[in-house]
Amino acid sequence: MIETVFDTKNKPIALGSDHAGFEYKEAVKQWLIDEGFSVKNFGTDSLTSVDYPDFAHPTASSVENGEAAFGILFCGSANGVAITANKHQGIRAGLCWENEVAKLVRQHNDSNILCIPARFVSLQQAKQMVDTFMETSFEGGRHGVRVGKISC
């Protein structure tokens, strides 16, 4: 079982993607379910071209409103979903392309949404980043002061 610092016993993990991230979202969704986690899928549910904000906003809202423990967003570059999610006041979405970045967005930025660029990482890398993101705690301290200055 994957260890997690998030409250996944009482809340699901929110997932969203556009068409470019659809296959990774589906694979990670099944992997998380197989590991015993509850997930909330905000789509998309096919390879048909879609607009990423239509799926990033509901994913981010579920985290922001406390309905989900945290979120994972997938798209081709992950830039669009990260920009969209970060429009939400209570969201700190981190774009990650390698495992060390997934660790640092949690440790230093207290990120609550992981954004994965499906066109630039392998599925195995994506799963490793999810695992690292889930098991890494926020350090607080000087980082807490900085995170406290993010909101407008």
- The residues annotated with a catalytic role in the active site are 75, 108
The two tokens of residue 149 are 């200055």
Give the orientation angle of helix 99-107 with respect to helix 123-135, to 10 degrees. 20
In whole angstroms, give the CA distance from residue 79 to residue 28. Answer: 19
In whole angstroms, give the CA distance from residue 85 to residue 87. Answer: 5
17: β partners: 74
